[in-house]
Amino acid sequence: MKLRQVEVLTAQGWSITEAIKSIVVTETTYFRGWAEYGGMKTDQVKRLKELKVKDARLRRAVSDLTLDKLILTEVARGNF
């Protein structure tokens, strides 16, 4: 993981800017990633990403079912 690479390089005495440039990302991207994933272990980050994908899929399913329910409610009332 790139965040971990920056940690290793800075521990070796590199400046934060040099370390970020070496992993080929912008400082903005690095700090945004650090804000979201900083301090997590690699397996925790993978699990978090898996859960985000699952959450998005479940949200779409709920959205689709809600829309179906609204349509069926209108049809049952005769307002189609």
Query: How confident is the model over 5-55, as pLDDT tens digits?
Result: 898 999 999 999 999 999 999 999 999 988 888 888 889 989 999 999 999
Q: What is the DSSP letter of 14?
A: -
Residue of 4 and 51 predicted with greater confidence: 51
Whether residue 45 sits in one domain with residue 35: no
Whether residue 25 sits in one domain with residue 45: no
The separation between CA 23 and the C-alpha centre of its own chain, rounded to angstroms, equals 20
Whether residue 29 sits in one domain with residue 7: yes
By residue count, the chain amounts to 80
By C-alpha distance, which of 11, 9, 8, 1 is closest to 33?
Answer: 1
Q: What is the number of structural domains in the chain?
A: 2
By C-alpha distance, which of 56, 53, 59, 7 is closest to 34?
Answer: 7
| Residue-range definition of the domain harbouring residue 24 | 1-39
Gap between the Cα atoms of 37 and 75, Å rounded: 47
Whether residue 31 sits in one domain with residue 61: no
pTM over 0.95: no
